[in-house]
Amino acid sequence: MGEQVGNARVRGPQEAVAKGSVVLIKTLIDHPMESGLRKDKESGETIPAHHVTDVVVNYAGKEVMKAVWTGAVSKNPFFAFSLKATTSGPVKVTWKDNKGVEFSGTAEVKVS
């Protein structure tokens, strides 16, 4: 199936925040998230598994979170999390799928 894969978007606060503030980071990635259990409606053949397996969040160059996902996560997953803003720097979110392909997106957190 020729779906778009990997368009990763990461959004954080649009303005500077006070040091120690808790900020919300929102992410969205275009990905089919196929479990490998579904059948194609036309051919009846099983659609091969193709889903995100790992999500890693780095903030200002340090890994702050890691998650393991399965094919049970929905198509084009939205993922949001809170982060304590201790310093100005990038929040980079990297997704890796079961085919070994990595996608990433970055948002800048500015601390005043």
Architecture of domain 8-38+47-109: Sandwich (2.60)
pTM of the model: 0.92
Sheet containing 62-68: order of strands = 62-68, 52-59, 89-97, 102-109
Task: Give residue 2's pLDDT.
Answer: 54
Model pLDDT for residues 25-64, shown as the tens digit of each residue? 999 999 999 999 999 999 999 999 999 999 999 999 999 9
C-alpha span between 81 and 76 (Å, rounded): 17
- Distances in Å between the alpha carbon of 25 and those of 6, 34, 86, 97, 98? 18, 25, 14, 21, 25
C-alpha span between 81 and 38 (Å, rounded): 30
Domain ranges, ordered by start, for the chain: 8-38+47-109
Which residues on neighbouring strands pair with residue 23, listed in sequence order? 83
Task: Give residue 73's pLDDT.
Answer: 96
Average pLDDT of the residues of the chain: 96
